[in-house]
Structures are given as structure tokens and as C-alpha cells.
Amino acid sequence: MAQRKTNGSKLFMMVLYMVAACSAIPISDLLDRASQRSDTLHSLSTTLTQDLDSHFPPMGRVITPRPSMCHTSSLHTPIDKEQALQVSEADLLSLVRSLLQAWRDPLVILSTSANTLPHPAQNSISTKVQELLEHTKSLGDGLDILSGKFGPAAQSISSLPYRGGNDISQDRISRLTNFHFLMSCFRRDSHKIDSFLKVLRCRAAKLQPEMC
Amino acid sequence: MKKVVEVFLLFLLLVFTPHAKGTGNSPPGKPTLNRCRSPEKETFTCWWEPGSDGGLPTTFALYYRKETSETVYECPDYHTAGKNSCFFNKNDTSIWVNYNITVVATNALGSTFSDPVDIDVVYIVKPNPPERVTVIVLEDKSWPFLRVSWEPPHKADTRSGWITLVYQIRVKLEQEKDWETHHAGQQKMFNVFSLRSGGTYLVQVRCKPDHGFWSEWSSTSYVKVPDYFHREKSVWILIMVFSAFIFLILTWLLHMNSHSLKHCILPPVPGPKIKGFDNQLLKNGKSEELFSALVVSDFPPTTSYNYEDLLVEYLEVNVPEEQELMLEENKDLHDGCLKSECSTSDSDSGRGSCDSHTLLMDKCGEAKEEERQTDQERMGTEAEDMVSPDMSSGRVKTWPSVFSPLPQYSSNTLDEQSSLEMAKQHYLSDSQFLPSSTSSYLTQPGHGTKEALGPSYWEFCLSNKQPHLLHPQTQARQQLQAHSDVDISSIGRKQAPAGLQSPLLRPTEYVEVQRVNEEDMVHLQPVVSGCGQNNCSPQMPQGEDYSKVKGVDSDNVLLLQRNMMEEDRLKENCYTSSTVTTTQKPTAMPVQDEMVLGMNGYVDTATMCILPTY
């Protein structure tokens, strides 16, 4: 599946290049494919979070940091529908790209720490994290190309550096807790990405109302 | 001190409060937030489950706190969503923000906090069911199908893409139990095929956001599929009827031409054409009989076969009528099939004929050889064609009465004596009519006394022309008259015309041939028995001593054999053969002896002439 996703991402990039060159493929289709990929991304993260929750130590709940402590929380994103619908496409795309960019490094860290995660479902978690990484990268690359269509505003990416360090904590509880926290942050951000892209898709498909 | 008082008061309060209130009152139980739902990702509602009320009116309060601030807010709307619910309107709803919600139950005695729940609105989306579900029946080339169409719930904003809904349809017949579910995706219309005509279908639709919960099923839509006749069925029925018809015709034709078809398809297997092959035997499974039938009897030719098989058991003797009569009288005595017919006969018929060119000897020889079947020595003798009569008692039919004493032609006969004795006995029995007088021959056949047996009677056909009957005559030779008509019967019946007296018949009497007159008659004279071979009394006329018949040569000449003497040839009728010496014809000797011994009362042909007696 990862290979398929890689191939899919390559194909997506090729398509985007073609779009850039020939603009034969309508944006709506491209956005449709992007939204599909973000959908998959979010589904994966949801599954991963549920797997983690199955064996979450009760103590961890107490010391779980708040979601506002996600490294991407500084990014100002719409908090309701009215706000979201008022954001321009370029801004939306910029937000999406910023989020995707912000998660490249943490996902790498998560991937490495997932190998030694003290969790019964460690194997599946590790696999899924790997997939997440690939998806995020492919989507980010595709959107980087697509953003050229949306004007200069789409090109700007907010930098959201991850300051959690190269490795999450050493002790078992901390590791699990941190892992869970990171995953929850990613889950929300992936949902944002997916929602924004789907709004963009609907906006781009004015002539095809069945898409929305 | 104060504390003690407070504790005491508190204790009293705790003790008395229940008593004061009567029934057991307690603070309310812990409520539980069981669910929070957002139908469109813009508002959401939370419902809680109250605990025990503790017997007192309990009030509930919901407090929430957003993750971004520490401010605790209370639920803005307790009523819109019903009892024990809290409705968050759009203004109060923030997405991608964690809410920390707690419900507090309060009664007079206290309040109880529920466990806090963290929720994010985007994760609790459960839309309303699709609306305006319509189902119609359409036809696709005479095949009916359902077209279901619906509308998304009105609250869900799918137009802007804020919510992306996917739909599901389920269909079932009215009387069935299981639903048939179809996933419709994002489309708002769906076609259901493979329906059964004449049934009522139930259709329901539901939807789900891309990352949320399934909505409830929409209200059931009923649709009746009308009855329709399959046009295809009619065609099939027609085809089946037609094929059945053709099948019947074919069967009938087959039945009519079954025979010719059988010959055509299964040609008859040609049977074996082996000569002598019997299929029945083969079916019976008896291989021995089968193969024996195939064996040709005369192939391969066997080198040795019984000549005696060729012998004719019964000889027909052709005698003149007179003789015939005599023979017929003798029929009672012996069960011989004696045919006394004086007619020409050939050697094959076995009938002796007086006119036959063949001498009596022939017949005698044949008859004798029958007797000697087992004896192979005689096969190669000169007298090969001269068969001797069969001496067995049962066989010699013709001979016994007549020719039994005439057996010995061939040289060596081992059983001649016995045969002769038998013959003799037979003759004795047969010829019991031989009294002393010739007249009483036939009247009393059953004497069986030997005394009666005197001279042997025999018919001796010497030639074709003139059968001669030789009578053993004790009397003089004049008694011996060879007549052509003489037969035994005549012998029997006739009075001894010419003084024919039956001589005193002695057991062994021999007649010797005295001479042969011109008329080709053989004159015999009795020979006194008891004479030794070489010590014949002077009674014996000097003459040629012929003891036996050696054989008949090609001229139908009877060859007599002289005893120990030269054999002379009898002219025409009776010829004696040349001398027979032991050396020359060693076989002659024993025969002779035996002949001599065997002779009791009769003379064999060999001794027709003169028989040396003992």
C-alpha cells in the first residue's frame, strides 16, 4: 500500500506538472484527488489514535498535555464554518501547505520512536506512522505544485517548527503519553487539511455540483 | 473546640437529616454524559444520564470549558434538545477546539459532578437522515428497476463543502427479513435492479459524513412493483413446446425404423463358418463336445484299424428254396438271421449264394474272422480275404447250423478249438434234429444230445452252379449225393430216401472225400474216428487224405490241405492243395491239429475230403 501511495503520489505530481504545463486537467479534479488523499490521511491518523487509546495508561490521561500545546496551534485557522468559508482559496491552500510542512519532521520522529514504542500494537502503529509519513510528503509535494495555480498567496507557508526535540521521552509512560499527544495533534491537523481541501474542491467545482 | 462542635453538628445533621426528611434522601447520583452529537458541524448537543436523584428534586447543570481558555461556561440551552440535554448553538460552537464538559446534579442535599468529557465537535458529527426520499419504478427494456432519489438533510451544508456526505440505501421486500444494502457514495440517486415482479419494496436511505457517524435511516418508502409478464418467458415456452414436439416425432420415427436402424448401427455379427461348428455347443460351454464335433473321423488316417471291424457280423446266405425251408426251420434253434435266399449276392451283402461265384469258404472265412477279431495274426496271412466264420456262440448265425464245422481255413487258429467246440456245440444244439434217422431231424430240435450229433450237416457250396451238400454220412458214399437242391431241411425232413440212415452218430465222425466223380461231385465217406493221425485204420480208404481246406484261390478253387501229405488240388470243386509240410506251411500244422481235435461229429470244410480221425 505504501508503494501504491508512492506511485500514486508520483502520478499525482506528474499530473500536476502536466497541469502546470498544459492546464488540461481542471483544478477541480486535482483538488478532488488531493482531498481524497487527505481523507485517507485523516482516516489513518484516526485509526492510529484509536489503536493508541486501546492501551493508554490511565495515568497518561492526567498528564496529557493539552491540544493547545501542539506545535501547530500557533497557526491561526478558522474555528467555525463562517470563518472557514470566508477564507480565500489561496489562504486555505497556504494553511494546508503550512500544516503539511509543519508535520514533516515530527512524523519522522514519530516513525522512529514507533519502532520502539512500548505498546502491544506497536507493529501496526509503526506501519501506519510510516504510511502517514509517505502520504503527508506526497500530498505536500502535490500541493506545492498546485499552489502555483492559486496565486502568490498560496505560496507563503507559515513556519511551524517542531520543538519537541529529536526524540520523545525516555521512560515508558512519557513516551506513550508524548506519542499519544503528538498523534492527537496530527489527527486534528489532518482533519483541518482535509476540510480545507474539500472546501476548496467544492469551490472549484462550480460546474459540477455533484462533487460537493 | 470549635472543630469538635462543627464535627458534632455535622454528625447530627447527617444523622438526623434522613430522619427529618422521612424517606432516605441522599445527594443525587452521579450523572453521566453519554453522548454529544453535532448534526452539521456547526452546532452540537450533549445528553447526559442522570443518576439517582436521591429522592429529592435534582437539578442539573452543564459546565464546559474550552481548551483555549480557562473560563467555565454553563450550558446556554437546556431545552432545545430535550430533557437532560444541552444544546450548543452556532455561536457557542467552535470546531477544532476541545471542550471539557461536566454535568453537575444538584439536589437539596448536594451536588454531584459527572466525569468530564473532552470532545471535539468535528469528531462527533452525526447528520440527520436524508430527506425527501423518493422511489419510483422504471423499466429498462421490460425489466423493472427502482430509482431512489433523496435530498441531504437540510441542515447539512454540503453545497459549500463544509460537510461531505456519503449515502447508503437499503431495500427489501415487504415479507422478507434481510435488507439489501447499497452504497451510493456522494450521489443522491440510486437505481436498484433485479426486482421481483408483483412485490412491495421497502426503501431506506441514510448518510454519513466523511469522518463521522452514520445517520439514522430515513423513513421507509413503500413501492409496489407491478406484475408484468416476461416476454422472454413466452419465447422460452414456445421453444420448449416446439422442441418437445420434435422430440416426439423423432421418437416415433425411431420406433418405426428401429429394425433398419439396428441393422445400420449394429450390423449383425457374422457367425463362425467352421464346418462342424455348433453354436449351441459353444453356448453350453462344453468344449469337449464342441471340439470333438470338429474332429473329422477319418482324418488323420490311422494306420491300424481293426479289420475285424469291417467284418460283417451277419451274413446272408442265399440258399435255394429247399434249403431255405430247412434253414427256416432252424431258425428257432438259433437266432440267426439266416437268409436262405438263393440269389446272387456279392461279397458285400454277406449273403451266401449257392449261385454265388464265391465259394462257401468265403463266407466261412468271413464269419470266422469275425470271431477272431482279437487275433491279429491272421491279418497278414494268405487267407486274408478268406475270412473264417465267427465261432462265437452268439454270432455265428449262419454258420453254426451249417458252417460251424467249417471254420478253419487259415493256418493258425489258436482259439479254433474253442471256437470249433463252440461251433460244435452250437451245431450240436442246433442240429439236434439229427437223430439217427434223418426224418426226425427237425421235429425235435431241442435234444441237445450229442448222440444225435453225428455227422455234421453242412451245406457246402462248392460252386456257383451246383451247390453241393455234403452230408456226413456214416453210410456209404452212395448216401452222399450232391444235389443242387439239397438243403439241410431236406436233410432233416427227408426220409433217408436212399436208405439214408443216420448212422450211429458218434461224437466225432469224419467224412473223407473219397473221390470226385466227373460230375464234379464229391464223394465222401465216413472216416472212423478214433483213428490217429497217422494210424488210420485200414478202413480208411486209401486215398488222398484231405484234412482241411487250405483256402480258395482266385479261381474259386477250394484248396484242401492234406494232412501231412501232399495236397492235391481238387479239380474245380475240390482241390487239394499242394503238400503242406510243416516247414513250408508251418501254420498249417497247428491248425490241423486243432482241427482234428476240435472236430467232434462234424467235418469242417477243410476236412471235406478225408479227415483223419482220432
pLDDT (mean) for B74-90: 89
Q: Confidence class of residue B427 from pLDDT cuts 50, 70 and 90?
A: very low
Of B160, B162, B187, the CB nearest to A210: B187
At B317-358, the pLDDT tens digits run: 776 665 555 555 555 444 444 444 444 444 454 444 445 454
The yes-or-no verdict on residue A104 having pLDDT over 80 is yes
Question: Of the spans A24-28, A207-211, B568-572, B608-612, which averages the highest pLDDT?
Answer: A24-28
Rounded CA separation B314/B408 (Å)? 18
β-strands B558-562, B575-576 pairing: parallel
Q: Is A81 close to B210, i.e. CB distance below 8 A?
A: no
Kind and range of the H or E run holding B12: helix B2-21
The yes-or-no verdict on residue B554 having pLDDT over 80 is no
Q: Nearest 5°: CA angle at B312, between B307 and B316?
A: 155
The yes-or-no verdict on residue A204 having pLDDT over 80 is yes
Quote the pLDDT of residue A23: 57
Residue among A186, A191, A192, A201 with most chain B CBs within 10 A, to mutate:
A191
State how far residue A9 is from chain B, nearest Cα, in angstroms: 22
State how far residue A35 is from chain B, nearest Cα, in angstroms: 11
Nearest CA in chain B to A195: B162
CA nearest neighbour of B120 among A117, A79, A17: A79
- The full DSSP string for B468-509 is EEE---SS-GGG----SS--HHHHHHS--TTT-------SS-
Between chain A and chain B, the number of residue pairs with CB atoms below 8 A apart is 67
Residue among B159, B210, B213 with most chain A CBs within 10 A, to mutate:
B210
Question: How buried is B579 (Cβ within 10 angstroms: 0-12 exposed, 13-18 middle, 19+ buried)?
Answer: middle
State how far residue B202 is from chain A, nearest Cα, in angstroms: 26
The yes-or-no verdict on residue B137 having pLDDT over 70 is yes
B158 CB neighbours in chain A (<8 A) are 212
Q: Is A209 close to B157, i.e. CB distance below 8 A?
A: no
**Cell reading at A158:** 507559515
pLDDT (mean) for B194-206: 87
Rounded CA separation B36/B48 (Å)? 9
Kind and range of the H or E run holding B15: helix B2-21
Quote the pLDDT of residue B195: 84
Nearest CA in chain B to A193: B96
Q: Confidence class of residue A5 from pLDDT cuts 50, 70 and 90?
A: low
The yes-or-no verdict on residue B603 having pLDDT over 90 is no
Nearest CA in chain B to A62: B116
Nearest CA in chain B to A211: B186
Q: Is A79 close to B94, i.e. CB distance below 8 A?
A: yes
The distance in angstroms from the start CA to the end CA of chain A is 27
Quote the pLDDT of residue B387: 40
Nearest CA in chain A to B96: A79
The yes-or-no verdict on residue B526 having pLDDT over 80 is no
Rounded CA separation B102/B48 (Å)? 10
Q: Is B96 close to A203, i.e. CB distance below 8 A?
A: no
Q: Confidence class of residue B133 from pLDDT cuts 50, 70 and 90?
A: very high
State how far residue B68 is from chain A, nearest Cα, in angstroms: 7
CA nearest neighbour of B136 among B153, B124, B148: B148
At B25-58, the pLDDT tens digits run: 787 888 888 889 999 899 999 999 888 777 888 8
Q: State residue B157 phi and psi, 5-degree precision.
A: -95, 90
The yes-or-no verdict on residue A113 having pLDDT over 80 is yes
Ranking B125-134, B384-393, B518-527 by mean pLDDT, the lowest is: B384-393
List residues of A whose CB lies inside 8 A of any B CB.
Answer: 39, 42-43, 46, 66-68, 77, 79-81, 84-85, 188, 191-192, 194-195, 198-203, 209-212
Does the pTM exceed 0.95?
no
Quote the pLDDT of residue B321: 63
Quote the pLDDT of residue B585: 41
Quote the pLDDT of residue B519: 62
B122 CB neighbours in chain A (<8 A) are 188, 191, 195
Which of the pair, B402 or B307, is modelled with greater confidence?
B307
Quote the pLDDT of residue A174: 80
pLDDT (mean) for A188-197: 93
Q: Confidence class of residue A192 from pLDDT cuts 50, 70 and 90?
A: very high
Quote the pLDDT of residue B366: 46
At B257-272, the pLDDT tens digits run: 888 878 888 887 887 6
Topology of the domain covering A25-211 = Growth Hormone; Chain: A; (1.20.1250)
- H-type alpha helices, B257-379: 258-265, 279-284, 287-294, 321-329, 360-371
Kind and range of the H or E run holding A93: helix A89-102
B161 CB neighbours in chain A (<8 A) are 198-203, 212
pLDDT (mean) for B456-483: 42
- ipTM of this complex prediction, to 2 decimal places: 0.84
CA nearest neighbour of B151 among B135, B132, B169, B126: B132
Residues of chain A with pLDDT > 90, as a percent, come to 23
Q: State residue B513 phi and psi, 5-degree precision.
A: -80, 120
- The full DSSP string for B383-421 is GGS-PPPP-STTT-SHIIIIITT----SS--SSHHHHHH
Rounded CA separation B118/B36 (Å)? 10
pLDDT (mean) for A13-23: 70
Quote the pLDDT of residue B167: 94
Nearest CA in chain A to B187: A210
Rounded CA separation A30/B500 (Å)? 167
The yes-or-no verdict on residue B359 having pLDDT over 90 is no
Q: Is B210 close to A201, i.e. CB distance below 8 A?
A: no
Question: Of the spans B173-182, B479-488, B496-505, which averages the highest pLDDT?
Answer: B173-182
Q: Is A80 close to B164, i.e. CB distance below 8 A?
A: no
Quote the pLDDT of residue B594: 42
Which of the pair, A182 or B413, is modelled with greater confidence?
A182
The yes-or-no verdict on residue B401 having pLDDT over 50 is no
Question: Of the spans B198-212, B367-381, B478-492, which averages the highest pLDDT?
Answer: B198-212
Rounded CA separation A102/A96 (Å)? 10
Give the position of cell 509512560: A173
pLDDT (mean) for B226-242: 79
Rounded CA separation B613/B607 (Å)? 10
Q: Confidence class of residue B294 from pLDDT cuts 50, 70 and 90?
A: low
State how far residue A112 is from chain B, nearest Cα, in angstroms: 28
Which of the pair, B211 or B440, is modelled with greater confidence?
B211
Quote the pLDDT of residue B323: 58
pLDDT (mean) for B14-34: 70
**Cell reading at B137:** 419504478
Give the position of cell 481541501: A197
Residue among A40, A43, A62, A79 with most chain B CBs within 10 A, to mutate:
A79
At A150-183, the pLDDT tens digits run: 888 788 888 888 877 776 677 877 888 888 888 9
Rounded CA separation B390/A58 (Å)? 141
From its phi and psi, is residue B276 left (phi > 0), alpha (psi between -120 and 50) or beta?
Answer: left
Which of the pair, A169 or B538, is modelled with greater confidence?
A169
